[in-house]
Structure 1
Amino acid sequence: MVRSLAEQSTDELGGPGSVLARQRRDHARLDRLMDRYWSAAGDEGGTVMRDIVQLVFSHAFAEETVLWPAVRRLVPGGEELTAEIEAEHQQINELIARFERTDPDDPGRPRLVAEAFALIRQDIRDEEDRVLPRLQEVLDDAHLARLGAAWEAARLTAPTHPHPAVPRRPPGNVLAGVPLSAYDRTRDVLSPGRRSPVWSFVLAAAAAAAAGGAAAGALRGRAARRP
């Protein structure tokens, strides 16, 4: 019988280093942050939203780079399961990207946030109830721990903002993710608040250059593999 990750202890998930335990910790933190956002006042709301965005996209990148390839390789029906999750990730990407482009006083902002939060919570339930328990059935604790270490390494070097045009699967997401991670993390440090038009232009140019370089690298790689 398949049991949701939410119903299991950390030991049942393979220990604190298991990819399943790491996933659930991130999910629990996201849930707390989303609840906190609605009760936050003033500048605190912006700080909480930045924490949510950074966690959502670094977490999703680690899933798409490390976890979902393992599910596709090892779990019967893994292709269909991960395709559903990737579609949810793409929708979340697009909603948060729209949110980041809107003015803080835009009356449509709360609706975008509500839609994004609802999708994030649906994504969490799909992962914990349907996808990850299937992976648990085919891997022992040692393999779950090794997968967890790889997942954590990917998460710590991942982009931290939405990039809807980036592919959801390796190698495309990895090729784009390396330069975009540097861009995003510089943006997080240097522009925590509302950006000036000049700074926005500089960051947009840097993002375009990063994405263009990644795309060129992917094309060169494909050309090199041709007989």
Structure 2
Amino acid sequence: MTSLADQDVTQLGGRLSILTRQKRDHERLDRLLQRLDRSSPGVEEQAVLHEIARLVFPHAFAEESVLWPEARRVLADGERLTLEVEREHQEVNELWTSLEDLPSGTPERRQVLARLTTVLREDVRDEEDDLLPRLQDAVGVRRLRALGVAWEAVRRTAPTRPHPVVSRRPPGNALAALPLTVVDRSRDALDAGARRFPRAYGPASRASRGLAALAGRVERVGVLRRGESSDTHRG
């Protein structure tokens, strides 16, 4: 069993393969985390975090919707492997949410950022060194490519922000996809407009906060919390 980090595109199943797509995103995440380590508190740090969020949350949502159900289906220890990754995803969601209430440059914020970076890097290694190579051994190249296409389709239409209350598994996450994607991407558009047109910052920020409150209410709809393992939340 060879880590994805040590395989080229051909070994991973070609450019359409889910393994190639995963490795590509993981490499981009590593570059962003290095930028985050070098960034100054405030505007620069927030800009890098924005890029990381838009990469990490759709990526993870697509994994939970497409990849991990497949792993549980074909791997004897798929439940254990996917549960560990789902726990990491859950911690990332919780840490990211807590960042929103921590002022820039404070020791508490630096501590959360350090833990967030650690968990993201651990998640990549767990996937590239263990879970995904096992999946590679269990299914053929054609299946890896089909999973890649399905994963990409979900990733492009997935929520772009943390939602720690929603289930990390179907059916809850599948049902949450549409309303949370609409809310998240509307907030993304408002935030982009505020950055481009400073005079619109106040109204855009208020509208974004209103949508954030709406997302919080959506998350707590009972059906959207179904399917998740009771062990996902370590606490």
What CA distance in whole angstroms lies between the structure 1 residues aligned with 2:103 and 2:216?
A: 22
Q: Secondary structure at the match of 1:27?
A: helix
Aligned to 1:204: 212
2:23 corresponds to which residue?
24
Change beyond 3 A, Cα 1:155–1:32? same
Distance, in Å, in 1 between the alignment partners of 2:101 and 2:90 is 17
- Contact 1:14/1:21 (8 A) holds in 2: yes
**Aligned length in residues:** 217
The answer (yes or no) to whether the contact 2:165–2:225 under 8 Å persists in 1 is no
Query: What is the alpha-carbon root mean square deviation over aligned residues?
Result: 2.1
Deviates more, 1:77-86 or 1:93-102: 93-102
Aligned to 1:144: 144
The equivalences for 1:88-127 within 5 A come to 88-127=88-127
Secondary structure of residue in 1 paired with 2:161: coil
- Output the CA distance in 2 between the equivalents of 1:208 and 1:165: 8
Contact 1:175 1:215 in 2 (8 A): no
Q: C-alpha distance in 1, partners of 2:223/2:176?
A: 10
Preserved contact between residue 175 and residue 218 of structure 1 (Cα < 8 Å): no
5+ residue gaps, structure 1, are: 220-227
Deviations 1:134-184 (Å, cap 9, x if unpaired)?
Answer: 100011111111100000011111111111000000110111121111111
C-alpha distance in structure 2 between counterparts of 1:217 and 1:114, whole Å: 30
- Where 1:11 maps in the other structure, the secondary structure is helix
Deviation at 1:45, TM superposition (A): 2.2
For residue 222 of structure 1, what is the aligned residue in structure 2?
Answer: none
Structure 2 letter corresponding to 1:142:
R
Say whether residues 1:83 and 2:91 are aligned partners: no
Farther-moved stretch of structure 1 (107-116 vs 150-159): 107-116
Deviation at 1:205, TM superposition (A): 3.2
Distance 1:12 1:127 in 2: 17
Partner amino acid, structure 2, of 1:32? R
Question: Taking structure 2 as the reference length, what is the TM-score of the superposition?
Answer: 0.85
Q: CA deviation at 1:43?
A: 2.5
The Cα of 1:198 is off from its aligned counterpart by 3.5
Q: Partner amino acid for 2:70?
A: A
Contact 2:172 2:223 in 1 (8 A): no
- Work out the CA distance in 2 between the residues paired with 1:179 and 1:167: 14
TM-superposed deviation, 1:107: 3.5
| C-alpha distance in 1 between matches for 2:223 and 2:157 | 21
1:108 match: secondary structure: helix
The percent identity for this pair of structures is: 48
Indicate the larger mover: 191-200 or 30-39: 191-200
Match of 1:224 in 2: none
TM-score relative to the length of structure 1 = 0.88
> Equivalent residue for 2:164?
164
Bigger mean CA deviation after superposition, 132-141 or 103-112:
103-112
Alignment check: 8 A CA contact 1:176 1:215 kept: no
Query: Are 2:47 and 1:39 aligned?
Result: no
Q: In structure 2, what is the equivalent of residue 7 of structure 1?
A: 6
- By how many angstroms is 1:215 displaced? 3.9
The change in CA–CA distance for 1:191 and 1:106 in structure 2 (over 3 A counts) is: farther
Q: Residue 217 of structure 1: CA displacement?
A: 7.8
